Structure formats: C-alpha cells, structure tokens
Structure 1
Amino acid sequence: MEVKDIYLNLLPNSKIIFFGMKNKILKMSVIPLFYLIIGGVFWGNHDIMMVVFSSFIAFAYHYLIDSEKSMKQNFVEISGGITAIFIIALFVKDADRILAVQYISIIVTLFLAFFFLKKRYVM
C-alpha cells in the first residue's frame, strides 16, 4: 500500500508534504513539536499528556516503522532519542522517576505493538 502525499499549504506558493514527507529530519520533529505545544497548553497535566503522548507516538510509529528493517534498527532510529532522554531523566535528582518509567513503557509497548502489526506477526 502506498502512502499518498498530503500537502499543507502554509503560504500561497509553498507546500509541505506531511504524511509522505521526504525530509527525514522534518518527519522526526513534527511529533515532538506538537507534543511540546500541547504540553504548554495543559501546563504539565500528565494524566492528559500521557494520552496525547501515546496517540502522537502511535501516529508516528504508524508512518515511520519500516517493515523491511529489523526491530533493533527501527527502534534505534525512531525511538532511540526520546527513550534516551527519559533514561537520562531517571538519573536526574529532581526528576519524577515513576513518570519517566511510565513514558518509557508507553514508548516500548507501542513500538512493539506497531512493529509486530507491520511485520504481520500478530495472529
């Protein structure tokens, strides 16, 4: 199945390809950008932010997981950076460790679910 490009017209003569984005850096930065904006709106209400975070991560995994690559390579390329940030947060003195573990578990659980669904390992 081929993903069709959906264009966002920001200015009259400019187009940004959103779902079939050609630029990988832009692809990887769209989800955290929306998450930061919504985080500013909710002012750190983590009950709501976990739902928003999991839906954004699921959206990103749906389009970014490559079924031709191995599980390790996909995880490092897609989730490695944000997982590393949460692991570093576990060692910071003032950080909420339980919250960091919850976010890491969301990342890993959704990654495994989407990876196995894309590889069609799920019966």
Structure 2
Amino acid sequence: AREGAPGVAAPAADNDGELPSSGGPGLYWSDLAVSTRDWGATGRRRLLRPSSGHVPSGKICGVVGPSGAGKSTLLSALAGTTAAAAGSDVRVDGAVWMTANGEGAEDGEEEG
C-alpha cells in the first residue's frame, strides 16, 4: 500500500496454504477508485486511488490507515453507497456486484 493510502490486511491462507482463485467464494475488487466533482482547475478530485483486493468468504479483514486515507470511502464504494469511477469492478462470489459506472448489477447477473 502507498503511504497515506488505506491498506487491507491480507487474509490468512487456507489449510493447504493457497488462497481461493478469482471467481471463488469471496469479495473481489479491482481498479476500484472514487472521484468527485471539484470546481478547481482539474474538474475532478480523486478521493480513492485505484485499488484491488480480495477477501475470501468467511474470513475477517481489517482496513487500516491514517485519518483521511480513504478507509470509509473504500468501504462505501464496496457497499455500493458511493459511486465508483469508470473501470472499477466489484464482484461477490464471482457475480458482478457493481458495474464500472457505479450502478448495481441486475439480480443474478453472472460473470461472462
């Protein structure tokens, strides 16, 4: 994790020493970023730099970082209560949870 960015504690490996592969049970996110309109020169302000991670089903994970690092923004984006930037991908047990434009997936939509 970059200095000042939230970090996600790595989950412990299963008994066989391997983590589940992508698409297995769990929460996955890749290139998850959040920006907001800013009336400054750039027009956008980045609240959360692109991040990727995985939490296997049934595991507990901690998000740590200094004040203002983006911990709450990360969790809000994962929950779908904050719109993620284009290119973000969040999946639960292999099924699409959120599309790149921050909209929730249709019920039962699966990865293609």
Range of TM-score over shorter length:
under 0.3
- Which structure would you say has the larger Rg? 1
With a CA cutoff of 8 Å and minimum separation of 6, indicate the structure with the bigger relative contact order.
Answer: 2
TM-score (norm 2): 0.26
